[in-house]
Amino acid sequence: MVNDLLAGVNAGARPGKRGLYIADIVEMLQALTPEAAAAKLGRMADVRAVAVLDRPEFTAAAEVLALLPLPRAVHLVAQMAEDRAADVLAEMDEDVAGRIFGALSPEVRTSLRRLLAWPEDSAGGMMTTEFVAARVSASVADVLDLLRTVERSRETVYSVFLLDERGCLDATISLRRLIAAAPDSPAIDLARDRTPVTVTPATDREVVADLIRRHDLLALPVVDDAGRPLGIVTVDDVLDALVAEHTEDVQKFGGVEALGRPYLETGFFEMIRKRAGWLSVLFLSEMLTASAMQHYEDELARAVVLTLFIPLIMSSGGNSGSQATSLIIRALAMGQVRLRDWWRVALRELPAGMVLGAMLGTVGFIRITAWQALGLYDYGSHWVLIATTVSAGLVGIVTFGSLAGSMLPFLLQKLGFDPASASAPFVATLVDVTGLVIYFTIALAILSGTLL
Amino acid sequence: MVNDLLAGVNAGARPGKRGLYIADIVEMLQALTPEAAAAKLGRMADVRAVAVLDRPEFTAAAEVLALLPLPRAVHLVAQMAEDRAADVLAEMDEDVAGRIFGALSPEVRTSLRRLLAWPEDSAGGMMTTEFVAARVSASVADVLDLLRTVERSRETVYSVFLLDERGCLDATISLRRLIAAAPDSPAIDLARDRTPVTVTPATDREVVADLIRRHDLLALPVVDDAGRPLGIVTVDDVLDALVAEHTEDVQKFGGVEALGRPYLETGFFEMIRKRAGWLSVLFLSEMLTASAMQHYEDELARAVVLTLFIPLIMSSGGNSGSQATSLIIRALAMGQVRLRDWWRVALRELPAGMVLGAMLGTVGFIRITAWQALGLYDYGSHWVLIATTVSAGLVGIVTFGSLAGSMLPFLLQKLGFDPASASAPFVATLVDVTGLVIYFTIALAILSGTLL
């Protein structure tokens, strides 16, 4: 719910006698067992209980509501913000949700059914149907009167939809301009040459967030194909959506399927399931490294010294790859780079990888030389050739890592996947197999006739 | 600047004759050279040019302003939102910034100087000084009159500060409650038992964002130590801050120092610098793998077959580690897990790692058995022992990876670092060295007397 500065429509959003903010009460209840939380919530005044239930941070809401006596649960759900009520009902056991739903008034049922039809991460799933609409012919005073009447029952009153005769969205006007205008002037004058930015219910939440951010909006109208308003997405829902996206992106980049709920509240086996998928896929792909190594078995047996640097070289490729991937994932998400820019990125990553690889290669060369010179380890009479192999391998693999890591998100986007699925482990695996081939090819070229 | 639904204080925020939104104009200008953008901006009406300059997405603002004739630049800067003007001046060449600054009116200079004193990622750097304040004794009508007067010159009018005799923030009231209240009632009644949530200018932007989100605010007052209001942070600035944090987190997790500007606009050598630091640190740490391998040189020479599985085993440890790290970084950032919960996390990750490790271990065992049975590769007469070594190694390393990956963010937070610095490459490196030791220890235990 969009509250105002430090406050809300809702008396319950204020700290009560004991000076607790709703956010603090939510935190306190979250720490309790569902039964204890239900008991506490059951004793709260309606207005406060509703304010608590309205917070998306109160993830136990569905469970707690199910534990309350049915009439009380129905009474509270009916007063909740509709978008939140729909989310909570969707989370509930179907039986309980059905019983609560059946006891609600027909009007509430209709608008909840409309909200429940859309996935949670779409504009339809984020919107509330509690918007304020006036006729396009209304005067400023008419609209202000309307706002005064509905102020306590609407999620946001800072913007008003003006509808034409067919009920289609013609313009939106803002409360701030309304209060500054002459009362008898036509409200439409405050919105003269405007074409409202709108979305359809199916619009993805990332696009909604981006539009609200780009256009500095407090709310965004959701309209049907004919242009009739269905609901409104408010900036606070977008904040929550952005934070959820952030969490998903970090988890995906770490190679986990998004958990969707707090870590400690995720069941043990659910967590295993969300991790096992990617881990197994990566493991199976990484098995190719064993095959690659088998292919170079003879070389390995003849020059065991080469194996000493395999982890070092492979990890450097993976690291440069995951750097490049993280840069490109965000650049794509922010629209700073488009699909058609792939070649511009490739032309940057190729020299960048070479410079970084040359740096690491130099350090690697110095390391081998130093250990040899100081007598810390004996790489044999061909140590210069070995140092050269390792250095050249680093240049090759770091360059390949940067290039592969930067191109993978483009490829995924092109194939219709989320570029953010290009996780660090995914890139590392991709680079590992190729990296081994690069390393042994270079080794064969340099050491052939001496060690190999 | 907080505009209203699809609109703004600013006439220029509306699409003009050609139906372009400011956001689209910004995008168009960004694609031009600074000179061409300056020429276009120079021909725009003031109100539109200011609306464009006010957008944080217009990253070329500083450069473009510097190219305009000084009087025009000064004229535009004076009309910009103060928080944005301060950011743009801070980005400019000192010479040019100094000349523009010197030509501004003393009042604007004073408030800009106050904003420039705070780092960009603090509440002081995000706030604007254009808030609306009234006496605590004012009536609802008084406050509404005040709002009507200042509506066009203030960034947000949706909340009003009520100040006591000493000029300290006593309460905040919202425009929506003001319009619904009786005009002659005291404004303070609309805020009765409220204690405003406030921050100081030094508060970190992550905390500001979290407060605005938790309390569903449209704006947050920034006060000095005595409680006098200095400015206000609006929800749209927080949206921008959240997106910036998101980018930083993904980049950090990928092992890159945060770029701070769009990928393609970052200079080549600056990008190298931001990547080389971590890459070198990780490379130097990863050199320990070479030392660990050297330590097991005899074993390697006797059982080259063991080396075949080194990349597979090491990467599995790194992958399970980066999964655990990504989960814990976000759980810590969202406050779902606190520092004191480390043992609860450890008690989950230990069995989770064992289960996941057992899964991969089983697949690994089957892989070796299958290759041996199908005659794809001959692991020798001790192939069962080798398969057992690889499986046991996987269990050990995946368990260690999950545990190390989940504890690293706690350790970093405890030491005062950002837990988000626990990048996937960092975790992989940590796990690689230990993983080798685990693998060879298990190999010695199982194969001693046969292969070793």
Neighbours of B103 (CB within 10 A): 15
Distance spanning both ends of chain B, measured CA to CA? 71
pLDDT band per the 50, 70, 90 thresholds, residue A2: very low
Single out the residue of A442, A290, A448 nearest to residue A364, CA to CA: A442
pLDDT score for B13: 38
Instruction: Write the single-letter amino acid at A42.
Output: G
Could you give the dihedral angle defined by the CA atoms of residues B16, B22, B23 and B28, in that order, rounded to the nearest 10 degrees? 80
pLDDT band per the 50, 70, 90 thresholds, residue A19: low
- Beta-carbon contacts of A417 under 8 Å, excluding residues fewer than 6 positions away, are none
Which tokens is A372 given?
A: 């040899």
Cα–Cα distance list, B36 to A1, B24, B41, B266 (Å): 44, 16, 9, 20
Rounded Cα gap, residues B289 and B293, in angstroms: 6
How far does the CA of residue B250 sit from the closest CA of chain A (Å)? 6
- Beta-carbon contacts of B295 under 8 Å, excluding residues fewer than 6 positions away, are none
Rounded Cα gap, residues A402 and B429, in angstroms: 18
Tally of residues, chain B: 452
Q: How many whole angstroms from its chain centre is CA A354? A: 33
Rounded Cα gap, residues B352 and A264, in angstroms: 13
Q: Do B320 and A275 touch (CB under 8 A)?
A: yes
For residue A130, which residues of chain B lie inside 8 Å, CB to CB? none
Cα nearest neighbour of A175 on chain B: B4
Neighbours of A284 (CB within 10 A): 13
Which parts of chain B sit beneath pLDDT 50?
Answer: 1-18
- Beta-carbon contacts of B374 under 8 Å, excluding residues fewer than 6 positions away, are none
Single out the residue of A428, A189, A226 nearest to residue A314, CA to CA: A428
CATH superfamily, domain A11-117, is: MgtE N-terminal domain-like (1.25.60.10)
The CATH class of A263-447 is mainly alpha
CA dihedral over A65, A67, A70, A75, signed as positive or negative? negative
* Each residue's pLDDT tens digit, A215-245: 888 889 999 988 899 899 988 888 888 888 8
**Is residue A330's pLDDT more than 50?**
yes
For residue B318, which residues of chain A lie inside 8 Å, CB to CB? 315, 318, 425, 428
Cα–Cα distance list, B32 to A333, B26, B37, B64, B173 (Å): 21, 10, 6, 11, 44
Q: How many whole angstroms from its chain centre is CA B247? A: 5
- What are the structural domain ranges in chain B? 11-117, 133-243, 263-447
pLDDT band per the 50, 70, 90 thresholds, residue A377: confident
* Each residue's pLDDT tens digit, B212-221: 888 888 889 9
Rounded Cα gap, residues A83 and A85, in angstroms: 6
Q: Do A323 and B352 touch (CB under 8 A)?
A: no
> Is the distance from CB of B184 to CB of B157 less than 8 angstroms?
no
- Beta-carbon contacts of B318 under 8 Å, excluding residues fewer than 6 positions away, are A315, A318, A425, A428, B401, B424, B427, B428, B431, B432, B435
Q: What is the CA radius of gyration of chain B?
A: 30
Q: Do B172 and A5 touch (CB under 8 A)?
A: yes
Single out the residue of B131, B119, B261 nearest to residue B204, CA to CA: B119
* A261-265, A378-382, A429-433 — most confident range: A429-433
Which tokens is A274 given?
A: 């969300």
Rounded Cα gap, residues A233 and A81, in angstroms: 12
Mean pLDDT of chain A: 86
Single out the residue of B410, B443, B241, B273 nearest to residue B341, CA to CA: B410
For residue B432, which residues of chain A lie inside 8 Å, CB to CB? 311, 315
Could you give the count of Cα atoms lying within 13 Å of B388 in the half-sphere of its Cβ? 10
The A159-163 sheet, strands edge to edge: A133-135, A159-163, A169-174
Q: Worst-scoring range by mean pLDDT, A164-173, A398-407, B105-114?
A: B105-114
pLDDT score for A18: 46
pLDDT band per the 50, 70, 90 thresholds, residue A12: very low
User: Greater confidence, A95 or A403?
Assistant: A403
Contact pairs from chain A to chain B, CB under 8 Å: 479
Picking from B211, B319, B391 by the largest number of A CB atoms within 10 A of its own CB, the best residue to mutate is B319
Could you give the dihedral angle defined by the CA atoms of residues B70, B75, B79 and B84, in that order, rounded to the nearest 10 degrees? 0
Rounded Cα gap, residues A74 and A97, in angstroms: 10
Rounded Cα gap, residues B130 and B127, in angstroms: 9
Q: Report the residue from A316, A336, A348 with minimal CB separation from B268.
A: A348
Q: Report the residue from B147, B177, B263 with minimal CB separation from A337.
A: B263
Helix (H) or strand (E) holding B173: strand B169-174
For residue A9, which residues of chain B lie inside 8 Å, CB to CB? 176-177
pLDDT score for B10: 32
pLDDT score for B398: 95
Q: How many whole angstroms from its chain centre is CA A265? A: 19
Q: Do B272 and A355 touch (CB under 8 A)?
A: yes
pLDDT score for B376: 85
- For residue A156, list its beta bridge partners: none
The stretch A31-43 carries a mean pLDDT of 88
How far does the CA of residue A99 sit from the closest CA of chain B (Å)? 31
Q: Worst-scoring range by mean pLDDT, A27-41, A144-158, A223-237?
A: A144-158
* Each residue's pLDDT tens digit, A266-312: 888 888 898 998 889 889 888 888 888 888 888 888 888 888 899 99
Q: How many whole angstroms from its chain centre is CA A376? A: 49
> Is the distance from CB of B360 to CB of B396 less than 8 angstroms?
no
Cα–Cα distance list, B381 to B134, B375, B390, B439 (Å): 89, 13, 16, 20
pLDDT score for A17: 42
Could you give the dihedral angle defined by the CA atoms of residues A335, A336, A341 and A345, in that order, rounded to the nearest 10 degrees? -130
For residue B197, which residues of chain A lie inside 8 Å, CB to CB? 6, 21
- For residue A342, list its beta bridge partners: none
The stretch A316-337 carries a mean pLDDT of 90
For residue A239, which residues of chain B lie inside 8 Å, CB to CB? 209, 212-213, 235, 238-239, 242
Picking from A3, A4, A83 by the largest number of B CB atoms within 10 A of its own CB, the best residue to mutate is A4
CATH superfamily, domain B133-243, is: CBS-domain (3.10.580.10)
Quote the crossing angle between the two packed helices A424-447 and B310-333, to the nearest 10°.
150
- Beta-carbon contacts of B149 under 8 Å, excluding residues fewer than 6 positions away, are none
- Beta-carbon contacts of A46 under 8 Å, excluding residues fewer than 6 positions away, are A75, A76, A79
The stretch A32-46 carries a mean pLDDT of 88
Quote the crossing angle between the two packed helices B268-295 and B424-447, to the nearest 10°.
10
pLDDT score for A370: 92
The CATH class of A133-234 is alpha beta
pLDDT score for A193: 52
Q: Report the residue from B312, B356, B432 with minimal CB separation from A289.
A: B312
Rounded Cα gap, residues B66 and B58, in angstroms: 14
